[in-house]
Amino acid sequence: MSHIVILVANRQAGPLTPADAARALGFCSGQHLNWLEPGQAAEFITKNAPDVAQLKLVLDHKATDVFLTKFRGRRKAVLLADMDSTITTTETLDELAAFAGVGDETAAITKRSMNGEIDFPAALRERVAMLRGLSLTALERTWSATQFSPGARVLVATMRHFGATTALVSGGFSFFTARVAAELGFDQQRANTLRDNGSELTGEVEEPILDASAKLATLGELAQKRGVRLSATLAVGDGANDLPMLQAAGLGVAYHAKPIVAARITNRIEHTDLTSLLFAQGYPANAFRGADA
């Protein structure tokens, strides 16, 4: 079966040149070079899947992400995206913890959890317990400071325009996912729920906790509802709790990922933004919808 190699350059580091594309084409013994956006994104067909790491080494343009997909079924019917440090630029739990004066402590636990060093549900309960007594106004203040990752709005708008189901799934909290989903236009959102007494957080999270297995189950459920196979799904995330869904999706992409994820996922966004997920599906730039604020 034929494979497609997609090259996407960070234009701030310079354009992707015809010479760059030709060098990649020759390395892969590829054919049918096509530009999705001149100076930024190009694709070609190759009979055999290349070694992506080696391909990156032969490119003169070092700030280039390389994606490898199958020829058939490139455009996905389902998008499932992680929220914290993927669709948004920060970890909202850590931002909340800063208001509680325990930012460093929770950030250390978050780092270990996202690297797969400790159990995610246990780590979440431990961090949420540190928020006991925190005023609910801290959630609003955290939301007001939350920013979207570059390309997030365009990614969601374009996939919805072309008929995909878009869903946000997070080991974080529904207070934030509901707002992110509404702002960006996700069809669905799922996350954990913080408990409160009407004015303050109680330091508890509702059970069961949405963890890696729940993210994977959500991917399967969405595919089943759309009547498609997992091969027709796209998942993106950065942490260890995203690994199962990334590995199961037809196109699983690690976004500026933690080391444990980057080591296991071939398709990675390291230099570019979330619109690379559109280029990877064969969308040319002139098909993009929406605009980042």
Amino acid occupying residue 234: L
Confirm whether 52 is domain-assigned: yes
State yes or no: pLDDT of 293 exceeds 50.
no
Confirm whether 134 is domain-assigned: no
Q: What is residue 140's predicted lDDT score, i.e. its pLDDT? A: 97
pLDDT (average), residues 248-268: 97
Q: 13-61: per-residue pLDDT in tens?
A: 999 999 999 999 999 999 999 999 999 999 999 999 999 999 999 998 8
Are 165 and 236 members of one domain?
yes
Look at residue 75 and give its three-state secondary structure.
Answer: coil
Are 231 and 192 members of one domain?
yes
Look at residue 94 and give its three-state secondary structure.
Answer: helix
Q: 76-100: per-residue pLDDT in tens?
A: 999 999 999 999 999 999 999 999 9
Annotated catalytic residue 84? yes
Are 154 and 68 members of one domain?
no
Pairing of strands 251-255, 268-269: parallel
Confirm whether 106 is domain-assigned: no
Nearest in space to 67 (alpha carbons), one of 290, 234, 288, 248: 234
Q: Give me the catalytic one of 20, 51, 65, 84.
A: 84
pLDDT category, 1, cuts 50, 70, 90?
A: low
Confirm whether 196 is domain-assigned: yes
Q: What is residue 284's predicted lDDT score, i.e. its pLDDT? A: 98
Are 181 and 248 members of one domain?
yes
pLDDT (average), residues 211-225: 98
Confirm whether 95 is domain-assigned: no
Q: Indicate the residue among 47, 72, 97 that finishes a domain.
A: 72
Q: 148-188: per-residue pLDDT in tens?
A: 999 999 999 999 999 999 999 999 999 999 999 999 999 99
Which CATH number belongs to the domain containing residue 25 in this structure?
Answer: 3.30.70.1060
Are 53 and 172 members of one domain?
no
Predicted model pTM: 0.96
Do 210 and 192 touch, CB atoms closer than 8 A? yes
Are 46 and 160 members of one domain?
no
Q: Give me the catalytic one of 20, 60, 65, 82.
A: 82
Angle at alpha carbon of residue 133, lines to 130 and 139, rounded to 5°? 85
State yes or no: pLDDT of 107 exceeds 70.
yes
Provide the domain limits for residue 272.
74-89+148-293
Are 59 and 153 members of one domain?
no
State yes or no: pLDDT of 71 exceeds 90.
no
Are 158 and 80 members of one domain?
yes
Confirm whether 44 is domain-assigned: yes
Nearest in space to 110 (alpha carbons), one of 87, 91, 82: 91
Are 193 and 260 members of one domain?
yes
Number of domains in the chain: 2
Are 78 and 68 members of one domain?
no
Are 85 and 46 members of one domain?
no
Are 166 and 287 members of one domain?
yes
Q: Indicate the residue among 46, 72, 98 that finishes a domain.
A: 72
Q: What is residue 72's predicted lDDT score, i.e. its pLDDT? A: 86
Which CATH number belongs to the domain containing residue 260 in this structure?
Answer: 3.40.50.1000
Q: What is each CA distance from 181 to 167, 189, 192, in whole angstroms?
A: 8, 6, 14
Confirm whether 130 is domain-assigned: no
CA distance 289 to 286: 8
